[in-house]
Amino acid sequence: ATPTALLAATGRGAQLGILVSGPRALERLRRIDTIVLDKTGTLTTGAMSVTALTPRADGLAAAEVRRLAAAVEQGSEHPLARAVTAHARGLDDQPPPPVRDFGSTPGEGVRGTVDGHRVTVGRPPGDPAGLPAPLPEAVREAEAAGHSPVLVTVDGTPEAVLAVGDALRPDAYRAVDHLRRLGLRPVLATGDREATARAVAGHLAVTEIHARATPQDKAALVTALKEQGGRVAVVGDGVNDAAALACADLGIAMGSGTDAAIGAADVTLVREDLQAIADAVRLARRTLATIR
Ligand code: ADP
Ligand code: MG
């Protein structure tokens, strides 16, 4: 393609809300045949809210768990963290106490010391049966609703399960269907649990699901798909997607995403519009097909 045509296509992309890093990205966009979609913050809005808080029997009071969890989540920019802190802000007069020794593991959760207690907030164990009553039921109920269960532990004891829900983006089904009609194979990859992932994939008629995927698992999935001969794009928003975005043939970041995701991607969706992905593929195919 001529430089002028590529420049024109890049400009047209910008009008569609797609920021392309350069002509090579446009060329790769044209060739992709597999698209790995992150769930939280990509297919869903990421605007989550806490829909339930279930404390264990004879444990800490709900208000205390809420306070400790919000204290730790202050340090995280994950959409789940924002839901937990907003929940506390809405119910408590006092702001949460400060957190010390904050740490976070992408795809797992966060931890820190609050008022001398070690607190973790994150993904419950794969089999919740070992949790104290009635937390196993709380985990299953959250999943059945398509929400994410989040476990709070204090000094090593599981104290509560929060159900955190967000909505599918309103255009998610049409956007995925559009990609399918362009011949792309959609794959859902999420750090979230199997049952929650299935609920979302079911709405989108996506049958290939990789749940409980750590950031390394997401990158390994991309590598495996490439080894099978796929030309693989990844769409993601989080720190946990950065490795997969970087090793994809083409990385696509949500404009609302973290700096890590945007930095690792070749294309950024400025307007948060998932339809723009299919528009971009069509644009790249047209531009680079006609000029050669
Ligand atoms: P996705 O891949 O769908 O974007 P993530 O990999 O970001 O999801 O998160 C996967 C899981 O890790 C979440 O469902 C949650 O259980 C846990 N998690 C990650 N970060 C946090 C956090 N800051 N607070 C609570 N849980 C978290
Ligand atoms: Mg995400």
Residue 288 DSSP SS3? helix
ipTM over 0.90: yes
Q: Is 204 exposed, middle or buried (0-12, 13-18, 19+ CB in 10 A)?
A: buried
At 146-170, the pLDDT tens digits run 889 999 999 999 999 999 998 899 9
Ligand 1 pocket, Cβ-based, cut-off 6 angstroms: 38-41, 73, 76, 78, 80-81, 107-110, 121-123, 148, 150, 190-192, 238, 240
CATH 3.40.1110.10 residue ranges of the chain are: 49-165
The residue whose CB lies within 8 Å of the most ligand 1 atoms, and thus the one to mutate among 44, 45, 123, is 123
64 CA to centre of ligand 1 in angstroms: 22
Please report, to the nearest 10 degrees, the dihedral formed by the alpha carbons of residues 21, 26, 27, 29 taken in order: 110
Q: What is the pLDDT of residue 287?
A: 84
3-45+168-291: CATH class: alpha beta
The answer to whether the predicted template modeling score (pTM) of the entire model surpasses 0.90 is: no
49-165: CATH class: alpha beta
State the catalytic residues: 38
At 96-141, the pLDDT tens digits run 999 999 999 988 999 999 999 999 999 999 899 999 999 999 999 9
At 5-59, the pLDDT tens digits run 888 888 888 888 899 988 889 899 999 999 999 999 999 988 889 999 999 999 9
CATH 3.40.50.1000 residue ranges of the chain are: 3-45+168-291
